[in-house]
Amino acid sequence: MSIGYACLVIGVPETNMRSVIKKNATEDKLMEVIRHNLHSFEKMVDYNIEEGVGLYRISSDLIPFGSSPVNGLRWWELFREDFERIGQKINQSGMRVSFHPGQYTVLNSPSEDVVERAIEDLRYHNLMLECLGVGYEHKMVLHVGGIYGDKEAASQQFVENFKRLDEPIQRRLIIENDDRLYTVEEVLEMAHQTGSPVVYDNLHHAANPTDDPHDDVYWIRETRKTWKEGDGRQKVHYSQQADDKRVGAHTDTIYLDPFLEYFDKLEDKDIDIMLEVKDKNLSTIKCINATQPQRGIQALEKEWARYKYVVLEHSHTLYNEIRELLKDKSAYPVEEFYASIHRALEQEVEKGQAVNAAQHVWGYFKDIADDKEVRAFQRNLQKYQDGNLKHATFKRQMQRLAEKYEIPYLKQSLYFEL
């Protein structure tokens, strides 16, 4: 089993992705941005390997205008060595990667122009996977599309246009139930006609249920039947409903109690779970730790090193409680650990606590910062205390210093991110 996340990483240096607008998409600019994005992508892969993350969805924006005539570069040749090097890391680690083309990749559109662009976009995504040298267990996820006034006809249009896809794309494509139009039951019917595996999304099902009131376990069992030898492990999407938001809106973070209830009910634990959540890798590591107690207290201590200063600025009390919680090296209080972090982050930052945390962080710089930087810190600290400087602005100076002086402990800290 693997648990993973989509596209972006929080709190990992050198992983930002860049884009380019159409009017600036010269060959030189495209080369620059692609080179940057591949470097960031490789850093994300390295991070996943180090943290034991075995499932990762790659951003479709890796190559700007990758399926458009705007990008006339033969990028798959120009960056062959980069793709091969990254792909080798993916294959050697056993990581499974995927893509999820966006809302404009609509295979069942009544517009032939839209369908042709969708086919080109799927070719672009498949080409990236081929450049990485990964097998057909590395997939592309797609929603069915629109209804266009006749769901039955639109469903059949999807099936017919699926037949137009190149054979490698057909082998990689998996289809997903959505939160408004196509239920898991309807997607299963199309899958039986196309031979595509179905990825079941629990929150989409909650927002757009079938007429028969079956639970997640039932639909996971039914969709498992669509996964064939060569497709890799069955894959599902998991997310939680955000309070006070539209039906189908994801939470910012994954809460462990409902996740573990979902996990415990799984009949087959050898399944891949893609988390769809705002805090990306943070929830992923949390869920991995919660389902792999063999990681031991060291895993929580590693997490604590990243969270400690942001917890401190929210709650000195919970900061001390977590420190006490981690003193017993034979225990593994994973649920209590993350629950305490959640409680801390839900509290408003108070100036006194923020100043206390900042002074702890400043301790890393006090012997290396120059006089100008010391004066700037003291001035910003006072302005913040007087209400004349925003909290984020005040912290940004220290983040720049962490980058300038190459302090890994702080560069990987979530103090600057949350």
Determine which helix (DSSP H) or strand (DSSP E) holds 235, and give its type and residue range. strand 235-238
At 105, which amino acid appears? T
Task: Give residue 132's pLDDT.
Answer: 98
| Cα dihedral 182/187/188/194 (nearest 10) | 160
**What is the per-residue pLDDT across 207-263, written as a single tens digit (0 to 9) for each?**
999 998 899 999 999 999 999 999 999 999 999 999 989 999 999 999 999 999 999
pTM of the entire structure?
0.96
Task: Give residue 288's pLDDT.
Answer: 98
**What is the per-residue pLDDT across 137-158, written as a single tens digit (0 to 9) for each?**
999 999 999 999 999 999 999 9
Tell me the three state secondary structure of residue 176: strand
Task: Give residue 212's pLDDT.
Answer: 86
Determine which helix (DSSP H) or strand (DSSP E) holds 3, and give its type and residue range. strand 2-6
Lookup: tokens for 372: 């100008």
**What is the per-residue pLDDT across 158-174, written as a single tens digit (0 to 9) for each?**
999 999 999 999 999 99
Evaluate if residue 203 carries a pLDDT over 90: yes
Domains of the chain with bracketed CATH: 2-291 (3.20.20.150), 295-416 (no CATH)
Angle CA 244–7–130, to nearest 5: 145
Lookup: tokens for 176: 């997903």
**What is the per-residue pLDDT across 60-82, written as a single tens digit (0 to 9) for each?**
999 999 999 999 999 999 999 99
Task: Give residue 287's pLDDT.
Answer: 98
At 263, which amino acid appears? F
Tell me phi and psi for residue 12, to 5 degrees.
Answer: -120, 120
- Residue 401 CA to residue 17 CA, distance in Å, equals 22
Choice among 118-127, 233-242, 391-400 with the minimum mean pLDDT: 391-400
Task: Give residue 15's pLDDT.
Answer: 97
Q: What is the mean pLDDT of residues 389-411?
A: 93
Q: What is the mean pLDDT of residues 380-388?
A: 94
C-beta separation of 357 from 395 below 8 A: no
Q: How far, in Å, are 7, 31, 259 from residue 79 at the CA level? A: 20, 9, 40
Evaluate if residue 394 carries a pLDDT over 90: no
Q: What is the mean pLDDT of residues 306-326?
A: 97
Q: What is the mean pLDDT of residues 350-374?
A: 95
Residues 6+ apart with CB under 8 A from 370: none
Task: Give residue 213's pLDDT.
Answer: 85
Residues 6+ apart with CB under 8 A from 218: none
Q: What is the mean pLDDT of residues 312-340?
A: 97
